[in-house]
Amino acid sequence: MYIAGEWCEAASGRRFPSHDPATGERLGEVPNGDAQDAERAVAAAAEAFPAWRETSAYERAALLQRAHAGMLARAEAIARLMSREQGKPLKAALAEVRYAADFLAWYAEEAKRVYGRTIPSARRDQRFLLLRQPVGVVAAITPWNYPVSMLTRKLGPALAAGCTAVLKPAEQTPLCARAVFEVLHEAGLPPGVANLVTTADPAPVGEVLTADPRVAKITFTGSTEVGRRLAERAARHLKRISMELGGHAPALVFADADPVHAAKGLAALKFLNAGQACISPNRIYVQRPLYGTFLETFAARAARIRVGHGLEEGVGMGPLVDAAALAKVERQVADAVGKGARLVCGGHRPEGLEGGFFYAPTVLADVTPEMTVYREETFGPVAPVIPFDDPAEAVALANDTDYGLAAYVYTRDLARAWRTVEGLDFGIIGVNDVNPTAAAAPFGGMKDSGLGREGGPEGIEEYLEVKVAGISL
């Protein structure tokens, strides 16, 4: 753990291991923190806050720029660690490290643009002045699927705004979190400005972070179920929240689209990170005239992905994170096939890879709303494909979910693209595009997908408080 600028053990002295999901190999151990350690970390962040908020935006920017350079200098080593601890192929891990570093550079610059405003008064002898100031201590809880970028997406804007932070990473990927803090430490992070509490048992740490009066804000990325619980607790203490939760992304492929382009793009996106992404397409609706061609190209792409250890040359997809993730995928596929879905490819664990949590890229055709996979988030390499006839009904089909994070549209008709984007109840939409994310673009969802945005100018607003002064002249 990293508290008040020092690497330290848990107060209890306990530790827990981290494993490679491809082999079961034990990669290392980290301290197993509990409520006491969380309190220590909150105290350190609270103590560091007054001095950190007094630093100039330029000083904070300089720290973040050094961290950006440090992360890029170590990119290869961090990516290798990520491949082993989280499972994604090395190339994807490297892309994630660069994406993670982008948040540090982008918010280094944005720190300098936290502007205030003057407001005219009805009184001749009065002016209003609006200031934006850091909210205070931020508690950040992050998931294992993007174990480096989800940390900088929170710490970048929080630190840029002048907040201090306590971060609790997922128990599956503590070594990646430690690597991020090594970068911050080497960049000259002042003691207490960001603190790391690792734990195998998140609930007691979460309880401190959501209840301690010194914490002003909770920022969470993870499941809707846990997010809802944390939001309820945070509400009791009237803390600010940002919640980046689950998704069930639809893709709409209209009859005027290029089916081959759509199939290639959506296959690349679907099997990225073995489908373990909240913006992964979970329902792919294809207008009937393109259905056959689309399925053929999509399944051919899926079938040729090599599955294996992320560090092996030529591997395009790694394992799932754990046994529970694998069991969920197997259950959803069996349910869908039992209810009449057509298994076009995959649907089994790949041969020769029994030592890890691997599952073959899987395509299910003719999926219907009765199947579990139609509503429940998959978080695995399973692509449900569904035909549709009436383009006027497409938006309603896409919106038929409790989630509202990402959606994808394929069409060559500009008016249709525009109208569809307006009609979709989702926060992030790719139009003929499968990567609508960047440090500069706000990322976040509607409905059960959460509250708030990360990235872009909106991302730093989440860490700022507004203050107004009425001044008599």
Shortest separation between residue 392's beta carbon and ligand ADP, angstroms: 36
Instruction: Answer for the pair 199, 168: CB distance below 8 angstroms, yes or no.
Output: yes
State yes or no: residue 141 binds ligand ADP (CB under 6 A): yes
Token reading at 109: 């610059």
The residue within the footprint of ligand ADP, chosen from 29, 47, 109, 171 (CB under 6 A), is: 171
Residue 433 φ/ψ region, left for φ over 0, alpha for ψ in the -120 to 50 degree band, beta for the rest: beta
Shortest separation between residue 80's beta carbon and ligand ADP, angstroms: 22
Shortest separation between residue 88's beta carbon and ligand ADP, angstroms: 15
Q: How far apart are CA 298 and CA 271, in angstroms?
A: 11
Nearer to ligand ADP, 144 or 298 (CB): 144
x/- letters, 252..291, toward ligand ADP (CB under 6 A) = ----------------------------------------
Nearer to ligand ADP, 30 or 230 (CB): 230
Q: How far apart are CA 172 and CA 17, in angstroms?
A: 9
Taking CB atoms, the residue at the shortest distance from ligand ADP is 206
User: Among candidates 297, 218, 250, 272, which has minimal Cα distance to 403?
Assistant: 250
Piece in contact with ligand ADP (CB under 6 A), picked from 3-11, 87-95, 140-148, 364-372: 140-148
Shortest separation between residue 146's beta carbon and ligand ADP, angstroms: 10
x/- letters, 229..248, toward ligand ADP (CB under 6 A) = -x------------------
Supply φ then ψ for residue 470, to 5 degrees.
-95, 125
Question: Which residue, chain included where needed, has tokens 């998959």?
Answer: 378
Token reading at 52: 């950190």
Residue count of the chain = 473
Nearer to ligand ADP, 136 or 169 (CB): 169
Nearer to ligand ADP, 21 or 265 (CB): 21
Shortest separation between residue 308's beta carbon and ligand ADP, angstroms: 23
Instruction: Answer for the pair 271, 88: CB distance below 8 angstroms, yes or no.
Output: no
Q: Which amino acid is at 435?
A: N
Q: How far apart are CA 85 and CA 19, in angstroms?
A: 6
The residue within the footprint of ligand ADP, chosen from 32, 83, 86, 142 (CB under 6 A), is: 142
- Active-site amino acid positions: 244, 278
Q: How far apart are CA 185 and CA 374, in angstroms?
A: 45
Nearer to ligand ADP, 259 or 319 (CB): 319
| Segment 376 to 395, residues that bind ligand ADP, using CB under 6 A | none
Q: Which helix (H) or strand (E) holds 469?
A: strand 464-472
Q: What is the dihedral of CA 447, 453, 455, 457, to 10 degrees?
A: 140
How are beta strands 126-134 and 464-472 bridged, if at all? Answer: antiparallel
The residue within the footprint of ligand ADP, chosen from 111, 150, 170, 382 (CB under 6 A), is: 170
Q: How far apart are CA 8 and CA 264, in angstroms?
A: 47
Report CA 256 to chain centroid distance, whole Å: 32
x/- letters, 185..224, toward ligand ADP (CB under 6 A) = -----------------xx--x---------------xx-
State yes or no: residue 326 binds ligand ADP (CB under 6 A): no
Query: How many other C-beta atoms lie within 10 A of the C-beta of residue 225?
Result: 11
Instruction: Answer for the pair 278, 244: CB distance below 8 angstroms, yes or no.
Output: yes
Shortest separation between residue 338's beta carbon and ligand ADP, angstroms: 25
Query: How many other C-beta atoms lie within 10 A of the C-beta of residue 56?
Result: 11
Residue 346 φ/ψ region, left for φ over 0, alpha for ψ in the -120 to 50 degree band, beta for the rest: left
Nearer to ligand ADP, 168 or 453 (CB): 168
Count interface residues toward ligand ADP (CB under 6 A).
14
Shortest separation between residue 173's beta carbon and ligand ADP, angstroms: 9
Shortest separation between residue 330's beta carbon and ligand ADP, angstroms: 17
State yes or no: residue 323 binds ligand ADP (CB under 6 A): no
Piece in contact with ligand ADP (CB under 6 A), picked from 141-149, 178-186, 285-293, 354-362: 141-149
Site residues (CB under 6 A) for ligand ADP? 141-143, 168-171, 202-203, 206, 222-223, 226, 230
